Amino acid sequence: MAEPSRPARVVFLLQDLFFGGTQRQALELAARLDRDRFAPEFWMLAGGRDFAPHAARAGIPLTWLCAAPKVTTASLRALWKKLETERPDLLVPLTAVPNIWGRVFGRLRRLPAVVGTCRGGGAIKRQHERWLKNTVAHHIVNAAPLKDALVRLGRPEDKVACIPNGVDTEYFAPPPEEMRPVREVVLCPARYCEDKDHETLLTAFERTVAERPRAELWLVGDGPLRTRVRTLAARSPVRGAIRTYPAAPDPRPFFQQASVVVLSSVREGLPNVILEAMSMGIPVAATAVGGIPDAVEPERTGLLCPPRNPEALGANMARLLADEDLRRQYGENARARVLEQFSMEAMVRRHEAVFTQVLAQAAG
């Protein structure tokens, strides 16, 4: 543990700094940590610098262990050497590959404290928690189903902290009345990957257009399935109503144009985009998976349906588009719920409490 005279060196190990929910949440957390007690820095296993300017402005030191676009053996060799020469007081790996290798190398290098994280619906399997769950001092998850899964695997309940994502409610504020959307835009800000199931969304949108001919679907994001999703969109019978955009550092201009925000995920943790949309007063149509039901209250802040059910999802999008008063009421309720339950300040303080506890145990 750090000497009492200096803040604890907390290294967040990430795969990259591409635009993404985990990267954004890590940045928000690190920027707000009490610098009298914690000195955060980011280590990246691969290239990807989308968020680098934001991190630099927040005064967070950045280290790229490898410039390759994906994690390679060179990345892992660099991490192994780095942990020998620059031992952090606390290592916090984020996403699957960092959680696997950060823990294995951390154990072999006898690091004083490692905190594992599970943030996505598939994290338990992808991170091999069945075998690696006991290689960390503590776990932090962002949704109750992930904590339940770890406990079922045998992880002690008091070693798993469920800390929902936080949202900057001042930054993600409802637009002025004169900027309210006038078009029927359904916005899906989601990474192109299997978990998000864009194929179901595209099929569901055909149902929506059948009821709301003026509806538009905006897909915003990047990811490994980008080409596949864009090809499906280009072949859709309603392709003229579908637009695709790359991910952006500031998603607010997209949110400001949206009447509804949609997610068709089959697996989730607690999606940042859901909280950001709710904070901006936008109703949500989503699947009832992972931590989404913890945020979205059906018939109050949005509408939920089972995954892989395009008929139900399409009907929910159409229903919200058809009723402006309902959208306004759900949006107001959503904003109030985020202010009460998902503030950035609460998220940061709870992380600080876990970090302090783990560091104290390591010192003892």
CATH code of the domain containing 79:
3.40.50.2000
309 with 239, same domain: the answer is yes
Q: In the chain, what percentage of residues exceed pLDDT 70?
A: 99
Answer whether residue 1 is part of any domain. no
Q: Are residues 153 and 186 in the same domain?
A: no
- Could you report the per-residue pLDDT of 111-167, keeping only the tens digit for each? 999 999 999 888 999 999 999 999 999 999 999 999 999 999 999 999 999 999 999
pLDDT(3) > 60? no
Question: Per the domain annotation, does 170 fall within a domain?
Answer: no
348 found inside a domain: yes
> Which range marks the domain in which residue 69 is found?
8-165+343-363
273 in the same domain as 209:
yes
CA distance 186 to 318: 10
- Rounded to the nearest 5°, which phi and psi values hold at 144? -60, -40
- Three-state DSSP class for residue 246: coil
Note the pTM of the prediction, 2 decimals. 0.86
Provide the domain count of the chain.
Answer: 2
For residue 1, pLDDT beyond 60: no
In this structure, are 161 and 199 located in the same domain?
no
Give the relative orientation of helices 198-211 and 226-235 as an angle to the nearest 10 degrees: 30
The predicted structure's pLDDT at residue 179: 82
Give which of 267, 272, 196 is closest to 232, Cα–Cα: 196
**317 shares a domain with 187:** yes
Say whether both 333 and 206 belong to one domain. Answer: yes
Are 30 and 130 members of one domain? yes
On whether residue 2 sits in a domain, the answer given is no
Please indicate, yes or no, if residue 100 is contained in any of the structural domains: yes
**Domain shared by 319 and 195, yes or no:** yes
Query: At residue 207, does pLDDT exceed 60?
Result: yes
Say if residues 175 and 280 touch (Cβ distance below 8 Å): yes
Q: Is 87 among the domain residues? A: yes
Residue 120 is which amino acid? G
Q: What is the mean pLDDT of residues 190-209?
A: 97
Distances (CA, A) of 42 to 35, 39, 47, 52, 355: 15, 10, 13, 10, 16
User: Do the domain assignments include residue 25?
Assistant: yes
Query: Are residues 304 and 328 located together in one domain of the fold?
Result: yes
- Tell whether 171 is covered by a domain: no
